[in-house]
Amino acid sequence: MTMRKISISELSRVEGIGSVEIFINGKKVRDVRVKLIEGLRFLELIPRGLLYKEVPGIVSRICAICYASHAIASSMALEKALSIKVDRRDKMLRELLLYGELLESHALHVYFLIAPDIYDELDFIELYKKDKSLVKEGFMLVKLGNMLREIIGGRPIHGLNIIPGGFVKRPSADSIDKVLEITENIVESSLILERMLKCYPEAGPMEGSVAIATGDHYLYGNRLITSTGKESKNYRVILEEQTEEYSHAKSALHSGRPAVVGAISRVLLKEKFLSREARELLNSIEHDQKYITYNVICQGAEIVEALERILSILKELSKLNVETHIEEPYPKKFSGEGFGYIEAPRGVLVHHYLVEDLILSKANIITPTAINQKSMERAVHNHVETLIFNKGSLNENDVISCAEQIIRAFDPCISCSVHVCFIK
Partner 1 sequence: MKLKMAIFELTGCGGCELTFIMLNEKLEDILELYDIAHFKMISSKEDLHKYDVAVVAGSVSTERDLKVLESARKKSRILLALGTCAVHGGPQSLILDEDLEGALAEIYGKKVPKEMKIFAGTPISEYVKVDVEIPGCPPESNDLFQALVDLAHGVVPYKWDYPVCLECKINETECVLVKRGIPCLGPITLGGCNAVCINLGIGCIGCRGPLPEDVNIPSEYEILKSLGISEKTIKRKLRMFSKRVSLNDHEKNLYK
Q: What residues line the site for partner 1 (CB under 8 A)? A: 10-17, 35, 37-46, 48-51, 54, 57-58, 61-65, 67, 108, 112-113, 116, 122-125, 139, 142-143, 146, 154-158, 160-161, 168-169, 243-248, 250, 359, 404, 413, 415, 421, 423
Minimum distance from residue 230 beta carbon to partner 1 (Å): 26
Q: How far apart are alpha carbons 190 and 90 in whole angstroms?
A: 31
- Contact status, residue 109 vs residue 101, Cβ threshold 8 Å: no
Phi-psi region of 389 (alpha: psi -120 to 50; beta: other; left: phi over 0): alpha
Minimum distance from residue 6 beta carbon to partner 1 (Å): 17
Q: Smaller CB distance to partner 1: residue 205 or 262?
A: 262
Nearest to 220 by CA among 360, 84, 339: 339
Minimum distance from residue 39 beta carbon to partner 1 (Å): 2
Minimum distance from residue 353 beta carbon to partner 1 (Å): 16
Minimum distance from residue 414 beta carbon to partner 1 (Å): 9
Q: Smaller CB distance to partner 1: residue 55 or 225?
A: 55
Minimum distance from residue 273 beta carbon to partner 1 (Å): 28
Q: Smaller CB distance to partner 1: residue 284 or 330?
A: 330
Q: Smaller CB distance to partner 1: residue 122 or 199?
A: 122
Q: Smaller CB distance to partner 1: residue 164 or 205?
A: 164
Q: At what angle do helices 67-82 and 88-107 cross, to 10 degrees?
A: 150
Q: Smaller CB distance to partner 1: residue 124 or 291?
A: 124
Q: How far apart are alpha carbons 228 and 237 in whole angstroms?
A: 13
Q: How far apart are alpha carbons 176 and 181 in whole angstroms?
A: 9
Give, in degrees to the nearest 5, the angle at Cα 102 between 377 and 252.
30
Q: What is the dihedral of CA 57, 144, 346, 217, to 10 degrees?
A: 90
